């Protein structure tokens, strides 16, 4: 099973595989730059080679990055739109250079409250970036908790964005399902797991589901709040994660933690991964 966590790239991306080995991860998520700053960085050949070598040495079967939190491809502000597109292209270029399997992105915020425009614009800009940065890295649209004008809180919105991408680039599009986010958005993974998965299959299609962010939630169903908790320590509890870990349809889909790390990141990740593994039957 491809199972792991978001790991730090402090000191350079080359350090992430070693941190993954410390927690026994076979899948990792990273930031390729500081997520709360616009400043761009370049990944040189030596850095990329050391990262790739570390991934191979650690037998890490899946690698992905999460893009900058500042990027908003759905904004109505033309200045922020252009800056976001530039930053997103940079994210894709770094992901390709590092040989990452995927880049996770939030569908953005329709700042003018015009969701149809935001969805169409986001899809168009993602397609433009994929055209301009060819390669094998997939773009995964992450489910969101749905607060304010944020897009991507419904499976239907994700499906619409994917459908808007032209067929010759659509094969590079998928979905990342965050368990905290979908529960906060109103999908009852705790008491209606089968119903939620059936709805996902009917709208997005399970073949588009390429990554899980496994996070419990500090808040109740439908809260619209994005507050993660440790596995089994929040309002979702153990059962949804037990179902996901034992669902044969999901066995080959990578699963990474974004749970709170506290003072000891390694110990926290090990504990949450051990709990997930304990659910296997």
pLDDT in tens, the chain (281 residues): 999 999 999 999 999 999 999 999 999 999 999 999 999 999 999 999 999 999 999 999 999 999 999 999 999 999 999 999 999 999 999 999 999 999 999 999 999 999 999 999 999 999 999 999 999 999 999 999 999 999 999 999 999 999 999 999 999 999 999 999 999 999 999 999 999 999 999 999 999 999 999 999 999 999 999 999 999 999 999 999 999 999 999 999 999 999 999 999 999 999 999 999 999 99
pLDDT score for 79: 98
pLDDT at position 262 is 93
Tell which residue, 186, 27, 174, has the closest CA to residue 107.
174
Cα–Cα nearest to 71, from 29, 34, 120: 34
Scored b (16 or more CB within 10 A) or e, 32-65 reads: bbeeeeeeeeebeeebbeebbebbeebebbbbbb
Burial class (CB in 10 A: 0-12, 13-18, 19+), 72: buried
Q: Which two tokens stand for residue 273?
A: 């991964």
CATH number for the region 3-278 comes to 3.20.20.150
Claim: this prediction has a pTM higher than 0.95: yes
Compute the C-alpha angle 269/29/238, nearest 5°: 45
How crowded is the C-beta side of 65, counted as CA atoms within 13 Å? Answer: 25
Q: Give domain limits for the chain.
A: 3-278
Burial of 149 by CB count in 10 Å (0-12 exposed, 13-18 middle, 19+ buried)? middle
């Amino acid at each position: 099973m491809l199972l792991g966590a978001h790991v730090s790239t402090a000191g350079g991306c080359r350090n992430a595989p070693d941190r993954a080995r410390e927690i026994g991860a076979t899948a990792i998520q990273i930031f390729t730059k500081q997520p709360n700053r616009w400043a761009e960085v370049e990944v040189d050949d030596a850095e990329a080679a050391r990262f790739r070598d570390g991934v191979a040495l650690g037998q890490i079967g899946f690698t992905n990055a999460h893009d900058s939190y500042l990027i908003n491809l759905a904004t109505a502000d033309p200045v922020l739109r252009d800056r976001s597109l530039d930053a997103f292209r940079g994210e894709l270029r770094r992901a390709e250079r590092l040989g990452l399997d995927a880049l996770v992105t939030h569908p953005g915020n329709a700042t003018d409250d015009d969701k149809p425009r935001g969805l169409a614009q986001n899809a168009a800009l993602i397609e433009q970036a994929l055209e301009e940065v060819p390669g094998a890295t997939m773009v995964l649209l992450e489910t969101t908790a749905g607060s304010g004008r944020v897009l991507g809180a419904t499976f239907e919105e994700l499906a619409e964005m994917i459908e808007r991408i032209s067929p010759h680039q659509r094969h590079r599009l998928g979905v990342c399902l965050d368990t905290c986010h979908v529960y906060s958005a109103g999908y009852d993974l705790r008491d209606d797991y089968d119903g939620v998965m059936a709805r996902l299959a009917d709208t997005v299609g399970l073949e588009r589901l390429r990554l899980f962010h496994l996070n419990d939630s500090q808040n109740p169903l439908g809260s619209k709040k994005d507050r993660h908790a440790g596995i089994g320590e929040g309002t979702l509890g153990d059962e949804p994660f037990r179902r996901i870990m034992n669902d044969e349809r999901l066995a080959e889909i990578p699963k990474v933690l974004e749970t709170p790390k506290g003072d000891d990141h390694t110990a926290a990740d090990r504990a949450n991964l051990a709990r997930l593994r304990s659910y296997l039957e």
